[in-house]
Amino acid sequence: MCGINGIAYWKSDADLHSVLGKMNDAIAHRGPDAEGAFVEKNIGLGHRRLSIIDTSAAGNQPFYSSDNNIVVVFNGEIYNYIELKEELQSEYQFRTSTDTEVIIASYLKWGEKCVERFIGMFGLALLDKRSNSLYIYRDRLGVKPVYYAKSSTGIIFSSEIRAIIRSGLISAKIDGDALIEYLKFQSVQAPKTILQGVEMVMPGCFLKVKENEIESIPYWSLSDSKYDLKNATREEVKHEVRRLLEDSVALRMRADVPFGAFLSGGIDSSIVVGLMSKFATKPVNTFSITFHEEEFNEEEYSTLIAKKYNTAHHNIKLSANDFLKLVPEALNAMDHPSGDGPNTYVVSKVTREAGVKMAMSGLGGDEVFAGYDVFKRVHALQQKKWLSATPRALRALAASALNTVKPSIASQKIGELLKSESIDVASTYALTRQLWMDKSIEKLCPNKNIGKSQVYQIASSFEAAPDRILSYVSKCEMSTYMLNVLLRDADQMSMASALEIRVPFLDHRLVDYVLSITDDVKFPHSPKQLLVESCEDVIPQSIVNRPKMGFTFPWAHWMKNELKPFCEQGLESLKRIESLNHQEVMLQWEQFLSGSKLVSWSRMWPLVVLGHWVNKNQIEQ
């Protein structure tokens, strides 16, 4: 796990060595073990290293082929590098034990589509000096980010947006349309970012850069159905899910440094730890954040799993105030604004301080195995097609009555859905994830056209097959909330402490298979039923049937008390954004402080975060 930077063909008088130095410095936290740069003519590649596989200096980057014609900078892991190496060793003479060298050997054998053979998470750049071509790849699910800005002649890219800002080659300005999306969904949907002219390489795609031509080429897609499972029995499906999950976990245990797993005591993390223990030759290191306050404490469940699998358990006990003190620190570590993240920052920080460089996470289990309420909600809607047939005027009347009798955020969302031209799955999904409603956003950004959200557009791009509605929701979740909130936060908050997070539920082979399973087999009559039944010998029923807790901290109380000055400082910084009506922001803040049911802490917090991010990075309007 590392950080990459690069500049190619950028029309500028800037010294590339100097620019790459600034960019590498901006992401030093990602790679404290080594630093390197390559500059030749008008192309430069930079790297910061966090050594996980082959920790010797032979693995430092940029990495070169034996004839120096291929140059690679790489962030991530190719988990199947051993199998690929065995396949390639008769044609390529390997000099190291790194997975980075396997990338070069694969490219020399299979060309630009070699990435199709990789099982892993990665953001990587490969320069072929023979053809004067630069390739910038991102993994299939988007676990690792790659940001870039392009001009009429070239491109600048990095693992983090702050390095692009630090380069001094762009003007860091807020994108007005992206701001609307941020207000709606506490993040911005890829390929856009919060900044004008800065985009992300999309998951399952790579950029091919040659002189003044930049082409985005897909190599994998969520929308493809890879299996025909209509005639598969439930037992066959469970057996294959278990096989794929076991292989995913086993591959992700490959490392040359101490590693472990986050263990909350929930279904996903418990299964990951159970399967890790099956393959481990010594007790697995497990890490749990527990709290003195019983209403937040999950220690009973994490301890149960730790004892069952005899793990080397690290129970890190904090008070809510301990966590609270780390919140400003977490926001300072944030690379792109997001309404989430502090939880991951805290658990990553304490895990890294315990001497571990890599940790497994249960992230993705809910999205793959229908763990959220939205799965059942959208599925139920499909059974109520009569709603769309009801005259819109009657639905609008019902919406008005609901908001009058029971004013709340939930009523607002139901009302918006009822007033829609048609009640469809895409509208339902988008509204489920939306924070500020359009009417509120019109007041917050009075000079902007609201329009249909990117989340709605993404949801509309997927087919909602009648027998795979749950898979439809999975695709929506993986392409929006998971990609642009959970995965981005996991990357930026873990790498702030130089900790690598691996996510076995997001192995593309497992995802391909589960997305092909029909609803009658996958429907979660009990929590993540198919996953649990596939691993019934791994996870106790007491874990399955436990109340779902997560980090349910008293954010509203904190924001009105201990964090109030911090919040108001962030909101004050929003004056830097001219398109945002600061007077309306403060009006909403006052309503929140007075206890309005229509202004929740989860709506105000992303504004606080945005203000701090804008101020820290000196962003212009």
Active-site annotation, residues: 2
What are the b/e assignments for 411-432, b being 16+ CB within 10 Å? Answer: bbbbbbbbbbeebbbbbbbbbb
DSSP β-ladder status, 358-360 and 259-262: parallel
- Please enumerate in sequence order all residues whose Cβ is within 8 A of that of 100, keeping only pairs 6 or more positions apart, or say none: 59, 61, 63, 72, 74
CA distance 259 to 285: 7
Q: Tell me if residue 476 falls in helix, strand or coil.
A: helix
Q: Is the peptide bond before 62 cis (omega within 30 degrees of 0)?
A: yes
Rounded alpha-carbon distances, angstroms, from residue 293 to 133, 290, 318, 340: 57, 9, 9, 22
Q: In the β-sheet with 259-262, what is the strand arrangement from edge to edge?
A: 312-318, 285-291, 259-262, 358-360, 500-502
Q: How far is it, in rounded angstroms, from Cα 196 to Cα 175?
A: 5
Report how far apart the first and last C-alpha atoms of the chain are (Å, whole number): 34
- Integer CA distances (angstroms), 90 to 86, 94, 105, 109, 264, in order: 8, 10, 11, 11, 45
Helix (H, G, I), strand (E, B) or coil at 328: helix
Burial class of 171 by CB neighbour count within 10 A (0 to 12, 13 to 18, 19+): exposed
Which residues are paired to 125 by β-bridges?
73, 136
Q: In angstroms, rounded to a whole number, what is the distance separating the alpha carbons of residues 216 and 206?
A: 6
The number of angstroms, rounded, from the C-alpha of 28 to the middle of its chain's C-alpha atoms is: 21
β-strand 198-200 against 285-291: which pairing, if any? unpaired
User: Could you tell me how many residues make up the chain?
Assistant: 621
Cβ(359)–Cβ(260) below 8 Å: yes
DSSP state of 4: E
Q: For the beta carbon of residue 57, count every other beta carbon within 10 angstroms.
A: 11
Residues 6+ apart with CB under 8 A from 346: 289, 318, 323, 326, 330
Rounded-to-integer distance, Cα 123 and Cα 75, Å: 5
Please name the amino acid found at residue 199: E
Helices 267-279 and 299-308 pack at an angle, to 10 degrees, of: 20
How far is the CA of 279 from the CAs of 189, 248, 276, 430, 507, in angstroms?
A: 37, 12, 5, 40, 17
